[in-house]
Amino acid sequence: MPAVIVILGILSVIGFNSCKREHITYSTTSDVNMYSYLEQNPDQFSMFKQIVDKAGFSTFINTYGTYTLFAPNNTGVTAYLKANGKASVDNIDEATAKKIVSISLIADTINTQLFTDGKMRAPTTSGQFLITGANNVGGVSSITINRQANLVKGNVRLGNGILHVIDNVLLPAEQTLAKMVEQNPNYSIFSEALKATGFYDSLNVAATSATNPSRKFLTLIAQTNAVFNAAGIADFNALKAKYSTKGNPKDPTDSLYLFVAYRVFPELSYLSDVVAASSHPTLAPLEVTTSMLDGEKVLLNNDYFNGVLEPGVSLDRTLSDNSASNGVLHSSASNYKIKVRKPTAVYFDFGDQPEIRRAPGVYRGIDKSIVFEPGELSEVTWINQRTSGHQQFTYKTEPAVPRAGEYFYGNDFTYWGLRFQPDPKGGMSQIEFKTPLLVRGRYKVWIDWRRDAGTSPIVVSFDGQALPNTFFVSEIVNDNQSDALLESKFLKRYSESPVTGNSNGMVSKMVGIINVTTTDRHYIRFNATGAVGKQIGMDCVEFRPVDMASQILPKLYRDGTLRY
Return the pLDDT at 190: 99
Return the pLDDT at 103: 98
Mean pLDDT of the chain: 90
Going by C-alpha positions, the residue among 202, 195, 196 that lies closest to residue 176 is 202
Return the pLDDT at 426: 61
Going by C-alpha positions, the residue among 132, 133, 140 that lies closest to residue 23 is 140
Strand blocks (E) in 489-549? 491-492, 503-504, 506-516, 520-528, 538-545
What whole-number percentage of the chain has pLDDT above 70? 93
Q: Which domains, from first to last, does the chain contain?
A: 7-166 (2.30.180.10), 177-332 (2.30.180.10), 346-563 (2.60.120.260)
DSSP annotation of 124: B
Residue 446 clears pLDDT 90, i.e. is over it: yes
Residue 28 clears pLDDT 60, i.e. is over it: no
Q: What HEC string does 196-250 produce?
A: HHCHHHHCCCCHHHCCCHHHCCEEEEEECHHHHHHCCCCCHHHHHHHHCCCCCCC
Reported as a pLDDT band with limits 50, 70 and 90, residue 30 is: low
* In 281-419, alpha helices (H): 354-358
Residue 13 clears pLDDT 50, i.e. is over it: no
Return the pLDDT at 173: 96
Return the pLDDT at 386: 63
Return the pLDDT at 22: 43
Residue 85 clears pLDDT 80, i.e. is over it: yes
Return the pLDDT at 19: 40
pLDDT digits (tens, 9 = 90+) for 234-257: 999 999 999 999 999 999 999 999
Return the pLDDT at 344: 86
Averaged pLDDT for residues 275-282: 86
In this structure, of 23-27, 71-75, 249-253, 458-462, the range with the lowest mean pLDDT score is 23-27
What is the Cα–Cα distance from 318 to 12, expressed in whole angstroms?
19
Residue 167 clears pLDDT 50, i.e. is over it: yes
Are 77 and 38 in contact by the 8 Å Cβ rule? The answer is: no
Return the pLDDT at 14: 34
Averaged pLDDT for residues 79-85: 97
Averaged pLDDT for residues 435-458: 93
Strand blocks (E) in 390-487? 393-397, 412-416, 428-438, 441-450, 458-462, 465-466, 477-478
Reported as a pLDDT band with limits 50, 70 and 90, residue 387 is: low
Residue 107 clears pLDDT 70, i.e. is over it: yes
pTM: 0.71
Return the pLDDT at 388: 55
pLDDT digits (tens, 9 = 90+) for 182-232: 999 999 999 999 999 999 999 999 988 888 888 899 999 999 999 999 999
Reported as a pLDDT band with limits 50, 70 and 90, residue 1 is: very low
pLDDT digits (tens, 9 = 90+) for 327-364: 999 999 999 999 877 888 999 999 999 899 888 889 99
In this structure, of 38-47, 406-415, 451-460, the range with the lowest mean pLDDT score is 451-460
Residues forming a β-bridge with 136: 141
What is the Cα–Cα distance from 373 to 350, expressed in whole angstroms?
16
Going by C-alpha positions, the residue among 558, 431, 562, 546 that lies closest to residue 506 is 558
Residue 6 clears pLDDT 60, i.e. is over it: no
Are 127 and 103 in contact by the 8 Å Cβ rule? The answer is: no
Return the pLDDT at 305: 77
Residue 79 clears pLDDT 60, i.e. is over it: yes
Return the pLDDT at 511: 98
Averaged pLDDT for residues 13-29: 40
Residue 385 clears pLDDT 80, i.e. is over it: no
Residue 276 clears pLDDT 90, i.e. is over it: no
Sign, CA dihedral 84-88-91-96, equals positive
Return the pLDDT at 155: 96
Q: Please give the torsion angle defined by the CA atoms of residues 544, 545, 549 and 553, in that order, rounded to the nearest 10 degrees.
A: 0
Residue 519 clears pLDDT 70, i.e. is over it: yes
CA distances to 17, 49, 113, 329 from 103, in Å:
35, 15, 20, 18
Return the pLDDT at 425: 62
Top mean pLDDT of 299-313, 342-356, 410-424 is at 342-356
Residue 443 clears pLDDT 70, i.e. is over it: yes
- DSSP strand pairing (491-492 vs 503-504): unpaired
What is the Cα–Cα distance from 40 to 535, expressed in whole angstroms?
68
Return the pLDDT at 208: 86
Q: For 477, phi and psi rounded to 5 degrees?
A: -100, 105
In this structure, of 229-233, 238-242, 420-424, 463-467, the range with the lowest mean pLDDT score is 420-424
Going by C-alpha positions, the residue among 463, 384, 464 that lies closest to residue 417 is 384
